[in-house]
Amino acid sequence: MSLIITIISILVAIEFFYIMYLETFATTSPTTGRVFNMTADDLQNEKIQTLFKNQGIYNGLIGVGIFYSLFFTHNYHNSLLAIMIYIILVALYGSFSSGNKSIFFKQGTLAVIVAILLLVS
């Protein structure tokens, strides 16, 4: 079970590093516009770019936290569970606040799986 938890957790971290990349480094790319359902004009707005870059750092730190929990703590279950619950809550909030229910499934599904596996292991 530990190997499965580790693999899926790494996938969650990679997902958040990808989100960080889109928000922090590829702020005006067509992919970022498609992923976040924004126009090219929206992405050119300096205020939106600043907000994206700030949010991107948070997402990157979630990925760092997952890796830290997995590889640098003796008992990663508690810290990893806390991070996964945080991700689930953020995905729920994003889904409901934006009216886009697919956000939860895109951002929260792997975290839900990890959280369940941690709770049953």
Q: Using one digit for the tens of pLDDT, what is the confidence trace for 51-97?
A: 999 999 999 999 999 999 999 998 889 999 999 999 999 999 999 99
Average pLDDT, the chain: 95
Name residues whose C-beta falls within 8 Å of residue 13's C-beta, 6 or more positions apart in sequence. 62, 63, 64, 66, 67
Is the pLDDT assigned to residue 4 strictly greater than 90?
yes
Across residues 14-19, what is the average pLDDT?
97
Query: What is the per-residue pLDDT for 75?
Result: 87
CA 27 to chain centre: 16
Query: What is the per-residue pLDDT for 59?
Result: 96
